[in-house]
Structure 1
Amino acid sequence: ILRMDSTNADALYVRGLCLYYEDCIDKAVQFFVQALRMAPDHEKARLACRNAKALKAKKEEGNQAFKNNNYEAAYQLYTEALTIDPNNIKTNAKLYCNRATAGAKLKKLNQAIEDCTSAIKLDDTYIKAYLRRAQCFMDTEQYEEAVRDYEKVYQTEKTSDHKHLLKNAQLQLKKSKRKDYYKVLGVGKNATEDEIKKAYRKRALMHHPDRHSAATPEVQKEEEKKFKEVGEAFTVLSDPKKKIRYDNGHDLEDDGSFDGGGKCLLWFFFFGWI
């Protein structure tokens, strides 16, 4: 139509509308402006032009606030932008993802996950939203969900970076399903050798069977189980080679050196040999 009549206001408006819904807002505005030049009373073009300019301005404000590390302001601006035109699916998908990024910076991880999910519902090919949600799942230790999202990304774009992210998520999932020896001893993953020994002494004394000899059989059984886990944890975390294998997610049984008990270590400890 525009080849035949470049002054057709309706055609200019519809062309602009198509660009607007493809998130080409700058080009869309140009066509809306042209339509209004041809027909100043074109109400639909006027409304679309106003929405497009408002959406562009609010999104850019949010982006600038984010670049300035003002994440609270960015989060609020993206929220305001999302109310301008619920029908603009592609732009709103990006706004949800942007808000998720700001939310993650503010440690609003569950809300960030929800925003990514909203973005994906609007555009299920939006790789950036899958990547952002996967990272939030990793940060909240929801490793199965993170693996699912990274698998989706890798199936779509088989890059070395995406493969690395998927493998790391799979490793963290594997590690999450075994005993957390750091948690057993009540220390952080960066604990020093002395901190591990002190924590071991404290937990071993706490759960030693002799301390619970007057308890019910159920309690005795539970404390004996915990006492054994303390021994296992110290057996691994006090041995540099086993600790490295454990931290890297390897199965300790693979090298044939893990006895799983740590009883001798416990007695050595109590007699002052450790």
Structure 2
Amino acid sequence: MAATVEYDVMMAPEEPERSEEEREREAETCKEKGNVFYAQKDYNEAYNYYTKAIDWSQKNASYYGNRAATLMMLAKYREALEDAQQSVRLDDTFVKGHHREGKCHLLLGNAMAATRCFQKVVELETKNEQARKELKNAAAVLEYERIAEVDFEKRDFRKVVFCMDRALELAPACHRFKILKAECLALLGRYPDAQSVASDILRMDSTNADALYVRGLCLYYEDCIEKAVQFFVQALKMAPDHQKARLACRNAKALKAKKEEGNQAFKDGNFELAHRLYSEALNIDPNNIKTNAKLYCNRGTVNAKLKNVCKAIEDCTNAVKLDETYIKAYLRRAQCYTDTEQYEEAVRDYEKVYQTESTKEHKQLLKNAQLELKKSKRKDYYKILGVDKNASEDEIKKAYRKRALMHHPDRHSGATTEVQKEEEKKFKEVGEAFTILSDPKKKARYDSGQDLDEDGMNMGDFDANNIFKAFFSGPGGFSFEASGPGNFFFQFG
């Protein structure tokens, strides 16, 4: 068998046990050094020495109180709160401990607990003006909370943001106030501001379910629904009972599915189904402004396809009310206005588009609308003759024959003076219309929106009777014989 070798183990000498008095002396030394560093505003070193003091003696309230003060200067309020609470557990008459505990509670947004602490300070020191001032601050925070709760139910989100801003001036470390403010900013459409607040919280606490919910809410309202769902799911993992995240997640999934179904129906040419699906999607969440603007515009396009132009205009108007920057909705509405000959409205929409996106295409659309507006302000010679804008030469002649005979003054010689004047006016307009539309060059200038006066033609100088005579003077036409000054009777040739 192998021989057993024994070794002498060299042990380090044990630290001699310190007496209670020595431990207290060491603790006081560390405390004094901590005080020096605290006075020099070197709070990290002060924290280290106060911690050493506590290591030497865990029964001295002032050590915990000093470390609490240092942690407060380092903005570590939750840790400071624990030390302050320990200090008053050790000594219930420790005024600074109660004050620091109250201050931590207030900074963290727990105004009710802060009130109890400051009241304790006033009981111990009736003339403590700082505690009385902090009591007023705590009362103010409680009042801001109360008002914000009421206004949130009223959906007055601007007022809630105002209240939370005031509350955060007194409780800057309160995540609850920050989250409520961020949620209201999201509901007001101020997504970058809301994202910034939520991101700041997540940098300190990546598992904060409320902050994850607000991040998702911003993405949801910006129509980034897939990414939004990811944040809602993550929030629910952190807090399975988070009702707002659960509802938002359900709405997001339903909205995405319904919108995609509507888009597919539109692509398939099933416009009735697409209209129904978009309408159902619009009922899911009235707060989702950006997505609803797109849904209104999509439904407007469907209505235009279904020849419901007035409904299409209404939908596009709802879209731009929700999103004033939505170019596609302005373009769709402008086209609908053009189709219904509402040219001034069309020009206004195209101007808005061109001011936002000054592209060549938008410039041309604006010019076209301005031309149509200019043309609409002239006499509509096609309408006067009762013909389509694509009418042939023969159709124009037939229309003139019919209208000229209908409105000729001699046909209305027995009518009242007012009727005679009206028919004479119409007879003259029919002559004007025929003069322009029967001449290819003049017709082309008229159709292109050019001024006819530039062609050397003053429409007020011509004689409608001469045009009438010239038209009917051919074989098989009408002949005229004067029966008195200014009067004619018709004879068939």
TM-score by length of 2: 0.54
| CA displacement 1:126-146 (0-9 Å, x = unmatched) | 111111111111111111111
- Counterpart of 1:48 (choices 248, 253, 264) is 248
SS at match of 1:233: helix
- Counterpart of 1:147 (choices 327, 340, 347) is 347
SS at match of 2:202: coil
Indicate the residue corresponding to 1:160 in structure 2. 360
Structure 1: gaps of 5 or more residues: none
Indicate the residue corresponding to 1:225 in structure 2. 425
- Counterpart of 1:198 (choices 398, 419, 427) is 398
Structure 2: gaps of 5 or more residues: 1-200, 478-493
Indicate the residue corresponding to 1:27 in structure 2. 227
Matches within 5 A, 1:4-19: 4-19=204-219
Indicate the residue corresponding to 2:469 in structure 1. 267
Greater C-alpha Rg: 2
Do the aligned partners of residues 259 and 109 (structure 1) sit closer, same or farther apart at CA in structure 2, a change above 3 Å counting? closer
Q: Distance in 2 between matches of 1:133 and 1:242?
A: 33
Indicate the residue corresponding to 2:335 in structure 1. 135
| Number of positions where the alignment pairs a residue of Structure 1 with one of Structure 2 | 274
Q: Distance in 2 between matches of 1:257 and 1:218?
A: 29
Q: Distance in 1 between matches of 2:345 and 2:231?
A: 43
| CA displacement 1:175-210 (0-9 Å, x = unmatched) | 111111011111100100001011111111111111
1:67 aligns with 2:295: no
Indicate the residue corresponding to 1:101 in structure 2. 301
Indicate the residue corresponding to 2:282 in structure 1. 82
Indicate the residue corresponding to 1:254 in structure 2. 454
Cα deviation, residue 13, structure 1: 1.6
Cα deviation, residue 4, structure 1: 4.6
Q: Distance in 2 between matches of 1:131 and 1:244?
A: 28
Q: Distance in 2 between matches of 1:204 and 1:10?
A: 79
CA RMSD of superposed structures (Å)? 1.5
Cα deviation, residue 258, structure 1: 4.9
Larger RCO, structure (CA 8 Å, separation 6 or more): 1
Q: Distance in 2 between matches of 1:229 and 1:272?
A: 22
| CA displacement 1:53-97 (0-9 Å, x = unmatched) | 001011111111111111111111111111100111111111111
- Counterpart of 1:175 (choices 363, 369, 375) is 375
Q: Distance in 2 between matches of 1:88 and 1:223?
A: 58
1:141 maps to amino acid: E
| CA displacement 1:97-149 (0-9 Å, x = unmatched) | 11111111111111111111111111111111111111111111111111111
TM-score by length of 1: 0.95
